[in-house]
Amino acid sequence: MDFPVQRWRDAVKIRHSIRTYNQQPLVGNIKERLLKFIAQANTEVNGVRAEFIDDGGSKVIQSIIASYGFIQGVRSYIAFIVDKNDRHCYEKIGYLGEMCILEATSLGLASCWISGTFKPKLVEDQLSIGFSEKVVAITPVGYSSNKQSIIEKLMKKIAGSHQRKPLEELCPDYNQHWPIWIKDAVCLARLAPSAVNRQPWRFIVSEDAKEIKITLDKLSDIESKRLDCGIAMLHIEIAALINNIQGGWNYLNKPDIAVYVKK
Ligand SMILES: Cc1cc2nc3c(=O)[nH]c(=O)nc-3n(C[C@H](O)[C@H](O)[C@H](O)COP(=O)(O)O)c2cc1C
């Protein structure tokens, strides 16, 4: 599949987590377009998959404040499912899930990655799940209610959702003379969402400026940070492709996650 990179780059820039929805079904042909996209996207990445559930979101969202966040009025959602036997399933589901989220954004839908404040068992009741599969996250897809709950406003303030770490912290060797595609890639990766906005990634650029490596800030909570890094991987690739830089990802061992190598 050809990635619609311009649309996704624009989506990266406007997307923010929305936690208050108005329970409305998807309008017009949006549901069909999203279903078609998910079916295509699922063939792009093996060992993980996404599944759209039209109605049922209100049951699977935790109704009390749990780890953080408070999500209301959800109807439709996408479940993100991994095959536990795949060594890189967390990076892959971050990457595939972000494809779905950016596509949903460009279709005018609100979304929010949710890995903590949902009930995986109830999601599994609403879809058919294989023996080695596990639901690791979901996102609502729908329309934002104009009224943000007080809790949503508070959570945004606490999580500092709109803020990102300075580029110099994320790229310890930041160099003004890097090629444009590298600078664009790290800037777009910097905007990636992450659980509790922790931004657990560091970007290391090779001396010949042909590779961007993603490495972890700390060796804690590794599985879920690998998911965050999968999201940043997609953002790097979008920027590379916009600059006509073809390349591919190689997975690495911790604390490194993966390296994008220019062809
Ligand atoms: C993998 C992942 C899991 C997340 N889980 C939750 C969650 O359980 N509850 C919640 O309210 N927000 C959750 N978020 C949303 C983050 O808090 C949010 O993306 C971050 O604060 C950045 O804000 P933004 O998405 O508005 O840019 C999650 C985000 C990611 C990427």
CATH number of the domain where residue 210 is located: 3.40.109.30
Q: Which of 115, 44, 112, 58 is nearest to 81 (CA)?
A: 115
* In the predicted structure, residue 215 carries a pLDDT above the cut 90: yes
Residue identifier of the C-alpha nearest atom 10 of ligand 1: 69
Residues 180 and 224 in one domain: yes
Residues 134 and 56 in one domain: yes
- Structural domain contains residue 122: yes
Residues 33 and 144 in one domain: yes
Residues 102 and 43 in one domain: yes
* Distance separating alpha carbons of residues 154 and 70, to the nearest angstrom: 10
pLDDT score of 70: 77
Closest-lying ligand 1 atom to the alpha carbon of residue 159 = 21
What spacing in Å lies between the alpha carbon of 196 and ligand 1's midpoint? Answer: 6
Domain count, the chain: 2
Q: Domain range for residue 65? A: 5-154
Residues 148 and 173 in one domain: no
Question: Residue 24 maps to which CATH number?
Answer: 3.40.109.10
Last residue of a domain, one of 108, 124, 154: 154
Residues 236 and 124 in one domain: no
Residues 171 and 143 in one domain: no
Mutate to test the pocket of ligand 1, among 48, 102, 115, 138 (most ligand atoms within 8 A of CB): 115
From residue 56, give the alpha-carbon distance in Å to each of 9, 52, 78, 170, 251.
30, 11, 11, 38, 35
Residues 79 and 117 in one domain: yes
- Structural domain contains residue 197: yes
Residues 77 and 195 in one domain: no
**Residue type at 52?**
F
* Distance separating alpha carbons of residues 90 and 77, to the nearest angstrom: 19
* Distance separating alpha carbons of residues 97 and 41, to the nearest angstrom: 9
Residues 171 and 148 in one domain: no
Residue identifier of the C-alpha nearest atom 17 of ligand 1: 196
Whether omega for the bond prior to residue 172 falls within 30 degrees of 0, making it cis, is: no
Tens of pLDDT along 152-199? 666 666 666 679 999 999 999 999 999 999 999 999 999 999 999 999
Pair 51, 81: CB distance under 8 Å: yes
Tens of pLDDT along 92-138? 999 999 999 999 999 999 999 999 889 999 999 999 999 999 999 99
Residue identifier of the C-alpha nearest atom 11 of ligand 1: 69
Residues 213 and 246 in one domain: yes
For β-strands 256-262 and 211-216, DSSP reports them as antiparallel
Last residue of a domain, one of 154, 175, 200: 154
**Contacts made by residues 148-153, CB under 8 angstroms, sequence distance 24+:** 148/19, 148/20, 149/19, 149/20, 149/70, 149/72, 151/65, 151/70, 152/19, 152/20, 152/70, 152/72
- Sheet of 211-216, strands arranged across: 201-205, 211-216, 256-262, 247-251
What spacing in Å lies between the alpha carbon of 244 and ligand 1's midpoint? Answer: 30
Tens of pLDDT along 37-95? 999 999 999 999 999 999 999 899 876 554 455 788 999 999 999 999 999 999 999 99
What spacing in Å lies between the alpha carbon of 137 and ligand 1's midpoint? Answer: 10
Residue identifier of the C-alpha nearest atom 23 of ligand 1: 161
Residues 20 and 124 in one domain: yes
What spacing in Å lies between the alpha carbon of 262 and ligand 1's midpoint? Answer: 30
Q: Is the dihedral of CA 29, 32, 38, 41 positive or negative?
A: negative
- Structural domain contains residue 159: no
